[in-house]
Structure 1
């Protein structure tokens, strides 16, 4: 049965409206937004006084949570992540791999293909391969022994195994044949991101001009930028229409650096991500990221050998709140960076990322301090704080 939401604020795709009514149709999709003076007289109205309505968040770079991991969990474990993400305000996500052997990556692709559309929580809108075409100098928490040069035939094999669920891949621009790979991958509809790299500015920009459009967790896994060596970070700053991923947990990137990149690119080119690993929503202790042991303490996940940061334990709703609490962005822009921008940058905007008529009614009820009250999926209440 259709109903309307009546709330204090609505974060629509192109405007933020105060008051009014948002239709949720009986097919689980959004209808029209109506102004406060257009109150529907015959429909059911759900009242949310003092609350805000936002699109469900979209996490396009996440490895796991709840002691489950994209690389090691079976389908039941993946669905557990999917269900748990609703409490983080996430209604769509891209399960993200780490660098691994071809056989392992192919197995993961087949698992997702075999269960396509069967998740019962946050919607799996595609798969993101973080690697294996990276450089060993910036391996971070990725296993260098599996890193290799880009291979379009390998990508096609993985795409086929995934039933074309593989839609995004991150690589290092200095690997042999990178621009040619980017061109071919983009031609096949892939989103190509750049990261885990020691690339010069020139090599990075060559890949951008070949079609790469995203920077993988900007600053992290990249050479630092200087006025004489702009590096991959400089390419993120100076390429006008690309999107930079940012982990806003306060550990991966300090607030002034977050502010600088957002100021340089504009909120419409920043995708908030978590890079969350299996320790998300779990207590401190010992965990794994792929094949590498990790320990979690003081809000950070680090490799046991080497002390590098190893993904995060961030929930996306907290990343949104952080950039507002740090006085970097308005609530309107913070929500856009965790919904519209990641969806658009991953070419899944028609399925998620904004409130528009005939899009799935995946939305959040927020308190004015941006804490989460409720999560709805296809117009049905699925999580309550």
Structure 2
């Protein structure tokens, strides 16, 4: 299998030979004469460290099945992603344990799924239960950090929990963060009304990320200080952002991107359980024609319906920087955050690739994705 495209890391055209799911040969080549006006770029496939479900199924559901987990994870290939963190939100303990065991069983029984799952992201239950900060997470299932409970979660997942989001103002957070980081888990702050002291204590304990900065927060805040500015100004924290056109205004996206800098910026889809479904009412939830999901009758956002392609396109519109460092936000940066080898185009690396066109800033388009040497057409 031969691929010819522009190298994401240089101006040159390259020819890549793929064999047995690996990159066997990479040579410089001439630009194809029939390449058209829009040049094709080749880059590593995306990493999405926060995706919650699809097609009406959630990883947090008390009745999610192995087949549903497998289908959701495999669907990411049509969205450009080869590595993901299935994300479980706050839920009753038994529901979380069921979701973790089901993800573990899906990985254990399907090698391709296991290969795609970097690890599990637990977004809760140690979050703020205050209105606004809790978002659509159920307050009655939230609690203070509890290491013994986390150990139950980790055991249920087969040791796969790699990322944990919590609210640092919860009692016992700093000690929990130290234990989690020592065990190899990356800790993020999110859904939090954190103040300066609590944030500093969390970062000193080892927290390294802000989860969907600018969201999961009250609608009205003091001008300053407030949790957004405190986290944006903390240089020891990466920030994940949901750039789906709904969660952050373009001006806010630009400001937060500039505050964190490209090397600390990570795009996430935060795709919810309604992703992939048509607009309409789904009980307590509404999906409008633009794809925005809200708790019915409220302005509270409940995840996204968009993939990382949308986020890259919008970020590229407000801060043009294609191909790099724009694409680092869904490749190198999340890998570095999770202490994983950074994806790259090199002989001997897995054949996890994306082909992209970008005729102008804000017009980036995913063409297709190669995962483990197998190609998948773009889907929505």
TM-score by length of 1: 0.88
Partner of 2:312: 320
Partner of 1:123: 116
1:368 deviates by 2.8
Residue correspondences, number: 364
1:65 aligns to 2:62 (yes or no): no
From 73, 81, 93, the counterpart of 2:72: 81
Q: Deviations over 1:47-99 (max 9, x none)?
A: 97731111111110011122222122211111221222222111111110110
1:93 aligns to 2:84 (yes or no): yes
The RMSD of aligned alpha carbons is 2.3
Deviates further, 179-188 or 114-123: 114-123
In 2, the alpha carbon distance for the partners of 1:206 and 1:181 equals: 12
In 1, the alpha carbon distance for the partners of 2:252 and 2:378 equals: 34
Q: Deviations over 1:288-328 (max 9, x none)?
A: 7xxxx211113210012533111111111111111112344
1:163 aligns to 2:158 (yes or no): yes
1:136 aligns to 2:125 (yes or no): no
Partner of 1:53: 42
Partner secondary structure for residue 35 of structure 1: strand
Deviates further, 324-333 or 70-79: 324-333
Partner of 2:203: 208
Structure 2, unpaired ranges of 5+:
none
Q: Deviations over 1:123-173 (max 9, x none)?
A: 122110010001111110100000000011111121111111111110001
Partner of 1:42: none
Partner secondary structure for residue 58 of structure 1: strand
From 283, 303, 328, the counterpart of 1:336: 328
1:119 deviates by 6.2
Partner of 2:168: 173
Partner of 1:5: 3
From 373, 377, 380, the counterpart of 2:374: 380
TM-score by length of 2: 0.89
In 2, the alpha carbon distance for the partners of 1:162 and 1:236 equals: 30
1:109 aligns to 2:100 (yes or no): yes
State whether residues 166 and 191 of structure 2, in contact with CA within 8 Å, keep that contact through their aligned partners in structure 1: yes
State whether residues 69 and 106 of structure 2, in contact with CA within 8 Å, keep that contact through their aligned partners in structure 1: no
Partner secondary structure for residue 109 of structure 1: helix
Partner of 2:358: 368
State whether residues 28 and 361 of structure 1, in contact with CA within 8 Å, keep that contact through their aligned partners in structure 2: yes
Q: Deviations over 1:230-249 (max 9, x none)?
A: x3322322222321000001
Structure 1, unpaired ranges of 5+:
40-44
Distance 1:263 1:225, change over 3 A: farther
